[in-house]
Amino acid sequence: MKFKVNGHEVFASTGGRPFDKKKPLIIFVHGSGLTHMTWVLQTRYFAFHGYNALAIDLPGHGLSSGESLKSIEEMADWVNDVIDAVGHKEASLVGHSQGCLVTVECTSKYPDKIKTLSLMGGAGAIPMNPELLSLAENNDPKAVDLMMDWAHGPAGHFGGHPVPGLYHINTGTMLAKSRTIQNTLGVDFRACDNYKNGFEAAKKIKCPTLSILATDDKMCPVKEGKKLASLIDGSQVDIIDNCGHMMLLEEADRVLTVLKKFITTNYPPLSS
Amino acid sequence: MSDKKKELKPNTYKFDTLSLHAGYQPHKNAGSRQVPIYQTTSYLFDDVDHAAALFNLERGGHIYSRISNPTVGVLEERVASLEGGTAALATSSGMSAIFLTVMTLCEAGDHLVVSSQLYGGTVNLFRLTLPKFGIKCTFVKPRDTEGFKKAIQKNTKGIFGELVGNPGNEIMNMPEIAKIAHDAGIPLMVDATYQTPYLCKPFEHGADIVIHSLTKWMAGHGSSMAGILVEGGKFDWMQNDKFPTMTKPYEGYHGLSFAEEFGPTAFTMKARAEGMRDFGPCLSPQNAWNVLQGIETLSVRMKKHCENAEEMVKYLSNHDSVAWVSHPSAPNHPDAELANKLLPNGKGSMIAFGIKGGKDAGVAFINNVKLASHLANVGDTRTLVIHPASGTHSQMDEATLKFAGLSHDMIRLSVGIEDIDDIKNDFEIGFRAARKPRLVSNQ
């Protein structure tokens, strides 16, 4: 669906169901340079089971207009604006990678609005490799290729997608190259690199929180994810073996099972 | 010790490694090093919720082997990885892959622009069968790049061609024709059976959908029928209102918009969800496995195919019994420059040549070679020959034959990977017979 936030058109996938204001809202926030498509194996389930599942394209990404936001703090405020724009008073947030920084910041800043927080491949800080950052800012497609290499675990490099016939790495590459790299990935990487408030923000979070981490995640290693989770009261941690940073695609079923249990328990759906 | 900073390089697997490993994780399959053959029709659901989720595309997995199968899935991912595509859908044959592609793209009342140099079966599909479904086609000669542009109508939904035409070896200017298609907001579909991704990756030259008859070089062994369509993932289905079945809510899946939900894999998702469900040309797991065995050695075989083909081009070009030779490696080939650009790893192993003495000489040649097999296939590891005017294209009338660039003296040669001297010696037997067709009895 399309709606406006701060004068710019925003696209969000609703998981194949019409948006219904009566249903509780879950917002899915994608990672650096990516789009709502990364959530396809999670959103449809929630959309068909009593939720409004909104997988958003951040400004300047995917099908959303406007320019990419330059800081994690701006993105966090923007997610809060999305909740208002779709006419809800509260939401459950799900983030991947950079989306974790955004949702952690948003949850700490708007504690009354955010009811649960689910982090996938998250960390309190995501400092960027300077060369990778430079490649992305200079619009070099090698930045995407490197990101896709590092983001997939050894098993993920072979493929074996849960949806028959889909090849992970090429699909991710195509998503990340769908808009001008320097305007999406370049801006996002710089925003991640600049963001220093993750650990402080985490300490303020009081809502139920889940961290899904993966043993072969090179971009946000388990150690970093656990460090972040340890700062959030009562945070649950689930670790997936033989999986890399793109867990929501590499181990989509496992992620959905864990997410489903966590969200339905802590933020129940509208019963039919 | 050098303090030179190491340049960052992506370590994603390369072509030869992907040929052996892509799409398969042994640790998820009881540690089986070889891809298992899942010889089953259907798959257990965990519970009712799981069943509903699978039927509704809420989660990945298998329901019924007409729609998907784990062994076939490995083949699909492997070919997608080799082509640089986002997704693939394997079918029971190359023809069913073409049919499914067209039926996923078009509706009654739509139009396609099609290269005139195609496999005879494909010509008949576009010329005779698709009109029965209300889909009309305009044929354009592959070298007539401007002709493709002129043939586009308001209701045109795509351009289709073989990169190297069958059997005349004319090369379609894929980058330019892709631009024409994209300027018109329609996709370019390329049958790249002759090349395999080892010789050319059409997505790198602008194609949007790539189709293969896997029966040919990809498998190589000539034991199994199979086809596949592969999606490049770049085509924006939402850029115009030409593709409502991709962009508008689809009744068959609770109002799903394939383009919105699946983006770079939308075409494949629709082809599977709708096409396999409703038409059902599924690939058997045994045949998928057989094709996978061939793909493991694709690059090794293709190198040898191309080496032998280039040797045969030299041999035929200097032979007294040969009137003409057509192969993209021949320096006098009209598309040699384009071939060097699009096919840097080799020009393929399909040769067309004209035999002196016309049709009778051609028949005598075909009937007397011993090593080369006379049959209706190409891309086998064994050398194959056929006389198109009396074989693959025999259902065409004189005018259609001419338009398809065929002549009665033409012999189509699919060069195998046997010892090159043995192939040449065999051809000498055929040429001897061709020089005196009336003195040599037919077999």
In CATH, what number is assigned to the domain containing residue A111? 3.40.50.1820
For residue range B346-402, what is the model confidence (pLDDT) as tens digits?
A: 999 999 999 999 888 998 999 999 999 999 899 999 999 998 877 666 666 777 777
User: Contact, A81 vs A6, CB < 8 A?
Assistant: yes
Parallel/antiparallel/unpaired status of strands B373-374 and B384-386: parallel
- Nearest-CA distance A110 → chain B (Å): 29
Strand (E) or helix (H) holding B16: helix B15-21
Token pair 């009937």: residue: B367
Single-letter amino acid code for the residue at B369 = V
Q: Does A7 touch chain B (CB under 8 A)?
A: no
Q: Does A48 touch chain B (CB under 8 A)?
A: yes
Work out the pLDDT band at B443, boundaries 50, 70, 90. very low
Ramachandran assignment for B109, one of left (phi > 0), alpha (psi -120 to 50 degrees), beta (any other): left
Residues in chain A: 272
Q: Does B231 touch chain A (CB under 8 A)?
A: no
Cβ atoms within 10 Å, residue B7: 7
User: Contact, B141 vs B170, CB < 8 A?
Assistant: yes
Closest CA to B218 of B237, B236, B246, B192: B192
Q: Please, what's the b/e burial string for B351-361 (b: 16 or more CB within 10 A of its CB; e: otherwise)?
A: bbbbbbbebeb
- Alpha-carbon span A198 to A128, nearest angstrom: 15
Q: Which residues of chain B neighbour A178 with C-beta distances below 8 Å? A: 263-264
Q: Which residues of chain B neighbour A164 with C-beta distances below 8 Å? A: 60, 62, 68-70, 72-73, 76, 272
Give bridge partners of residue B432 from the DSSP assignment. Answer: none
What was the pLDDT predicted at A54?
97
User: Contact, A71 vs A194, CB < 8 A?
Assistant: yes
Token pair 């050695």: residue: B297
**Between chains, do B87 and A167 touch, taking CB under 8 Å as contact?**
yes
- Asked whether residue A159 is domain-assigned, the answer is no
For residue range A110-121, what is the model confidence (pLDDT) as tens digits?
A: 999 999 999 999
**Between chains, do A158 and B23 touch, taking CB under 8 Å as contact?**
yes
Domain range for A21: 2-126+195-266
Beta-strand runs (E) in chain A: 2-5, 8-13, 25-29, 52-56, 91-96, 114-120, 209-214, 236-240
Work out the pLDDT band at B441, boundaries 50, 70, 90. very low
Who among A160, A174, A252 is closest to B25 (CB)? A160
Q: Which residues of chain A neighbour B264 with C-beta distances below 8 Å? A: 37, 171, 174-175, 178
Angle among Cα B83, B86, B91 to the nearest 5 degrees reads 75
- Nearest-CA distance A45 → chain B (Å): 5
**Between chains, do A149 and B56 touch, taking CB under 8 Å as contact?**
no
For residue range B200-248, what is the model confidence (pLDDT) as tens digits?
A: 999 999 999 999 999 999 999 999 999 999 999 999 999 999 999 999 9
- Asked whether residue A46 is domain-assigned, the answer is yes
**Between chains, do A132 and B8 touch, taking CB under 8 Å as contact?**
yes
- Asked whether residue A149 is domain-assigned, the answer is no
Which of A28, A48, A142, A166 should one mutate to test binding to chain B, selecting the residue with the greatest count of B CBs within 10 A? A166
User: Contact, B435 vs B365, CB < 8 A?
Assistant: no
- Asked whether residue A73 is domain-assigned, the answer is yes
What was the pLDDT predicted at B307?
98
Q: Return the minimum-mean-pLDDT range out of A88-102, B169-183, B189-203, B243-257.
A: B243-257
Three-state DSSP state, B231: strand
What residue of B is the nearest CA neighbor of A150? B10
**Between chains, do A145 and B12 touch, taking CB under 8 Å as contact?**
yes
- Nearest-CA distance B13 → chain A (Å): 7
For residue range B49-91, what is the model confidence (pLDDT) as tens digits?
A: 999 999 988 889 999 999 999 999 999 999 999 999 999 999 9
**Between chains, do B73 and A145 touch, taking CB under 8 Å as contact?**
no
What residue of B is the nearest CA neighbor of A249? B60
- Asked whether residue A250 is domain-assigned, the answer is yes
Residue B254: φ, ψ to 5°: 50, 45
Token pair 């993966």: residue: A214
What was the pLDDT predicted at B442?
46
Q: Does B247 touch chain A (CB under 8 A)?
A: no
Token pair 């955004």: residue: A102
For residue range B13-28, what is the model confidence (pLDDT) as tens digits?
A: 999 999 999 999 998 9
Q: Which residues of chain B neighbour A40 with C-beta distances below 8 Å? A: 261-262
Q: Does A130 touch chain B (CB under 8 A)?
A: no
Lay out the sheet containing A2-5: strands in order across: A2-5, A8-13, A52-56, A25-29, A91-96, A114-120, A209-214, A236-240
What was the pLDDT predicted at B300?
97
- Asked whether residue A166 is domain-assigned, the answer is no
Strand (E) or helix (H) holding B326: strand B322-326
**Between chains, do B86 and A13 touch, taking CB under 8 Å as contact?**
no
Q: In the structure encoding, which two tokens stand for residue B228, read together?
A: 């596949």
Cβ atoms within 10 Å, residue A233: 12
Three-state DSSP state, B320: coil
Share of chain B above pLDDT 90, in %: 81
Q: Which residues of chain A neighbour B84 with C-beta distances below 8 Å? A: 170
Mean pLDDT of chain B: 93
- Alpha-carbon span B199 to A66, nearest angstrom: 41
What was the pLDDT predicted at A56?
97
Measure CA A158 to chain center: 24
Single-letter amino acid code for the residue at A145 = D
Predicted complex ipTM: 0.93
Token pair 């459950």: residue: A92
DSSP per position, B386-432: E-GGGTTTTTS-HHHHHHTT--TTEEEEE--SS-HHHHHHHHHHHHH
Parallel/antiparallel/unpaired status of strands B350-355 and B322-326: antiparallel
- Asked whether residue A177 is domain-assigned, the answer is no
Who among B57, B59, B77 is closest to A165 (CB)? B77
- Asked whether residue A12 is domain-assigned, the answer is yes
Binding-face residues of B in 72-91 toward A, CB within 8 A? 72-74, 76-78, 80-81, 84-90
Q: What is the mean pLDDT of each run of 10 residues along chain A (272 residues)?
A: 95 92 97 94 93 97 96 98 97 98 98 97 96 96 95 91 91 91 96 97 97 96 97 95 94 94 95 66
Task: Kindly report the three-state secondary structure assignment for every residue of B247-274.
Answer: HCCEHHHCCECHHHHHHHHHHHHHHHHH
**Between chains, do A164 and B72 touch, taking CB under 8 Å as contact?**
yes
| CA B352 to each of CA A120, B23, B214, B316: distance values in angstroms, whole numbers, following the listed order | 57, 36, 21, 10
What was the pLDDT predicted at A272?
56
Q: What domains, with CATH codes, occur in chain B?
A: 15-295 (3.40.640.10), 298-435 (3.90.1150.10)
Closest CA to B273 of B431, B140, B103, B405: B103
Q: Does B339 touch chain A (CB under 8 A)?
A: no
User: Contact, A226 vs A202, CB < 8 A?
Assistant: no
Contacts for A2 with CB less than 8 Å, ≥ 6 apart = A9, A10, A11, A12, A63
Q: In the structure encoding, which two tokens stand for residue B370, read together?
A: 């011993």
Lay out the sheet containing B136-140: strands in order across: B87-91, B227-231, B209-213, B188-191, B156-162, B111-115, B136-140
Cβ atoms within 10 Å, residue A272: 5
**Between chains, do A41 and B22 touch, taking CB under 8 Å as contact?**
no
Contacts for B47 with CB less than 8 Å, ≥ 6 apart = none
Closest CA to A41 of A144, A120, A130, A136: A120
Domains held by chain A: number? 1
DSSP B163: S
What was the pLDDT predicted at B65?
97
- Alpha-carbon span A151 to A218, nearest angstrom: 7
What was the pLDDT predicted at B404?
66
Q: At what angle do helices A168-176 and A142-151 cross, to 10 degrees?
A: 140
User: Contact, A48 vs A16, CB < 8 A?
Assistant: yes
Q: In the structure encoding, which two tokens stand for residue A61, read together?
A: 């990404």
